Chain A
Amino acid sequence: MSAPHTMLDKLWTAHEVLQREDGVSLLWVDRHLVHEGSHHAFAKIKERGLTVAEPDLTFAIVDHYAPTRGRSKIADPEISRMINTLRDNASGNSLRIYDLDDPRQGIVHVVGPEEGLTLPGLLINCGDSHTSTHDAFGALAFGIGATEVAHVLATQTVWQRKPKSMRITVEGTLGPGVSSKDIALGWIAKLGTDGAQGHAVEYAGTVIRGLSMEGRMTLCNLSIEGGARFGIIAPDETTFAYIQGRRFAPKVAAWEAACEYWCGLSSDEDAHFDREVVLDAAEIAPTVTWGTSPEQALPITASLPEVSNVPLSKVEAVSAALEYMGLKFGQKLEGTAVDQVFIGSCTNGRIEDLRAAALVLKGRTSKIPGFVSPGSAQVKAQAEAEGLDRIFTDAGLCWVASGCSMCVGMNGDLVGEGKRCASSTNRNFKGRQGRGARTHLMSPAMVAAAAVTGALTDVRIFLEGRV
């Protein structure tokens, strides 16, 4: 019998081309996803006279700068230039591109799984820190910088030192109105934004097993906000059912072979993890962030800490965050007036997220403006088939096309200076949604509740009789 292995061990070994004497591994990359932001990397390989080594394993997607309105004639020349650069790099290297008019366009971390490009057991890279989204399938997916993107383009491999392993186990049952977004914000608040630095997280436990693929992707997506480059979940029947029949997924005999292999990927029962964290689902409530770091999060029922309760070493940072956010020590979170809402992003732009928000908004009106940007054109079409778009527009929200949009603001979808936004996105950093913008992160259902009242609100009061 060999020693027990973690899923990380198994995925790592399967991709290791070689290991140098200093312990750094050269890993084979099965899928490489590129977007407009990859322009630096394409410039780097072009400088050397190189082209993409494996065009069949490289997929280009327009998302970061994708306009969500007025696509046929882009007004901003900078945005046009960024998108055209990706088009040129894709055609110059014979890459498949998901362009603005493609019915399968969307955010890279939504499109990969949707297309069956994301599979268990694959190593997936993308020049984006939320690449851990794909880890929800039992893949080894992680975000890389531009130099590494250039390296993958040129060689289809990446150098990495194997991270330490950490398991976050969530046991029990989630209460109504509590989603995987709340699990994520909960553990990050508990452990800190650098709580999992240097580690590959594996999520486990009954609660994780009970999550849909959409829920798992939200959780894995947010791993980087707790410092982890990887956030993996073992594949199971839920995973296989999601993948089967998708466009690029294995078919027939290959499907059988793949499933058999995937079943062996889970961590062995007595595998050792460098760190173990166990969370009780019953303690997780609908959560909102109040500051300028994802770790500054509290249950919606809570009040901000009194200054006397903040550790001395953190008073300065907390004061600065509160000042930026226009909030006060001791203030109750619920009832804080909000100026606008945003539902979308690679974190919470999938069909289930839209359904959760629509469940709250059905037959109700939004007191404040806002918009809903589905995670992909396919999600948009599905939502329209289900009539969800009408629920949003009847409530007074704008229903727009897919892209990274107001999560990162590169396409011009910005929150105004000093404006407060209830947002289903992933980062509440200063200026993330626009200079001086005040972002509160929360689940899509919580965003919908904030829309209805025009203030931070506990979604549970709107779910009575609806769940």
Chain B
Amino acid sequence: MAGWNTHKGRAVSLPQDNIDTDQLIPARFMSVPRVQGYGPYLMHDMRRDDAGDLKADFPLNAHDGASVLMVGRNFGSGSSREAAVYALVDAGIRAVIAPSFGDIFASNAVNNGLLPAQIDEVTYETLAQALGRSFLDIKIDLGTRSLQLGSVGANFLIDDSWAMKLINGWDDIDLTRNHRVAIAAFKNIRHQTTAWAWPNGAD
């Protein structure tokens, strides 16, 4: 995965709290292999009417080409489905800005190069107001944890280890394989001292 330091794109606001991962991608689309792309399923039932046509007034439909989403608190709560992140990433979203995120979602986001940028409620009000229903240029700087939305500047929070991972495009499996000796040693000691932790061999 390619790392990134800064992102220049366009932001759109979706001023709702508690957008759960069932909204980000309904369960019925999750059997699709990733290579086919998950973009078309992003917020499928929020964006489309019963006939499957895009609702013209839905912010993401009104502004084609958004790469940054500004959303209410507790974004990505609920199911651990990483497909929610695939849908965002495959639809071209690089960052989501919100007062808070579901814990599992945030971790999944970082594992796919998507920035979960946390801002306080006051900053959220300011930015959401500046954005309104418009479509504004945004610049995000991961190194300085700052963003510039139109004429408004703000700082955001992200766990330092996550910022490093996004910037360097690190892959955990590669990193962990460097620790294989320590893991083998841990396993060995655990097996000796805590043998009951291994499943008792049933048939």
Contacts and interface: CB of A to CB of B under 8 A. Distances in A.
B20 interface: yes
B199 A248 contact: yes
A154 B34 CA distance: 19
Interface string A17-30: 11010111010101
Contacts, number: 183
A81 B74 contact: no
Interface stretch (A1-9, A119-127, A169-177, A207-215): A119-127
A143 B20 CA distance: 16
B196 A254 contact: yes
B54 to A, nearest CB: 16
Interface in A133-189: 143-148, 150-151, 154-157, 159, 161, 163
Contacts of A154: 173, 176-177
B173 A229 contact: no
A431 interface: yes
Interface string B99-143: 010111001100110000000000000000000000000000000
A71 to B, nearest CB: 18
B150 interface: no
B100 A151 contact: no
B5 interface: no
Contacts of B85: 145
Contacts of B164: 22
Interface string A35-59: 0010110010100101000001100
B160 interface: yes
B10 interface: no
A26 B33 contact: no
Given A144-B104, A147-B108, A159-B176, A427 B195 contact: no
Contacts of A147: 82, 108, 111-112, 172
Which range contains the number of B residues in contact with the other chain?
A: 35 or more
A258 B196 contact: yes
A18 B196 contact: no
B20 A429 contact: yes
A22 B168 CA distance: 15
A393 to B, nearest CB: 29
A258 B199 CA distance: 12
Contacts of B182: 17-18, 26
A275 to B, nearest CB: 15
Contact of B78 (A17, A129, A150): A129
A391 interface: no
Contacts of B104: 129, 143-145, 224, 229
A146 B30 CA distance: 12
A20 B196 contact: no
Contacts of A78: 31
Interface string A276-309: 0000000000000000010000000000000000
B76 to A, nearest CB: 10
A330 to B, nearest CB: 23
Contacts of A122: 197
Contact of A193 (B74, B79, B107, B179): B74
A18 B77 CA distance: 29
Interface in B2-35: 16-18, 20, 22-23, 26-28, 30-31, 33-34
Interface in A77-95: 78-79, 81-82
A427 B102 CA distance: 15
A98 B32 CA distance: 23
A248 B26 contact: no
B81 A317 contact: no
A250 B199 CA distance: 7
A120 B159 CA distance: 30
B28 A409 contact: yes
B73 A194 contact: yes
7 contacts: A22-B164, A57-B199, A79-B31, A154-B177, A159-B172, A197-B102, A248-B202
Interface of B: 16-18, 20, 22-23, 26-28, 30-31, 33-34, 45, 50, 73-74, 77-83, 85, 100, 102-104, 107-108, 111-112, 159-161, 164, 172-173, 176-177, 179-180, 182-183, 186-187, 190, 194-200, 202
Q: What 4 A-B pairs are tightest by C-beta distance, nearest first?
A: A145-B108, A147-B111, A146-B82, A145-B82
